[in-house]
Amino acid sequence: MATKIKIYGFHIDVFQHVNNARYLEFYEADRWDWMNELDFIDWAIKNKFTMAAVNINVNYFQGAVLGDELTVVTRMEKFGVKSAQCYQQIIRIKNGQSEVVSDAYVTFVFIDTVLNKSVTIENELRERLESFISHSDGFIDV
């Protein structure tokens, strides 16, 4: 699973490259696509769970510019008792070579929507997260 993004004028800032805040939107778009592909969102809503990002660490290696075609990929990195972490990359193919434009680690928790409290990652929630591990193609070593 990967999200394709073409860079248009509305993505560009006054310095003629994609502003750092846009990368967060690109990463979030792929996480939504990833969760939809794995039928996680409907399951979470039905089971009264929501997710909240609690920490995002982003590295910017190269600027993306007008006309670039980017690919965003996501994989489950690890999960503990109450939080989980995914790893993401934004990749550009330029002159036939794939290059990492940015990468990010996103830590998130799951919240019981009735109690409005974080929950322990166990039972079916843990099983679903474990199934995400096998869905992680297209990454480049950085």
Supply the residues annotated as catalytic.
13
Q: Do residues 54 and 102 touch, judged by C-beta distance below 8 A? A: no
56: its two tokens: 């995002």
The partner residues of 73 in beta bridges, in order of sequence, read 89
Q: What is the DSSP letter of 47?
A: T
Which one, of 12, 101, 5, 23, lies nearest residue 65 by Cα?
Answer: 12
131: its two tokens: 């199934």
Give every CB contact of residue 129 below 8 A, 6+ residues apart in sequence: 76, 79, 84, 121
Place of tokens 């919240």: 111
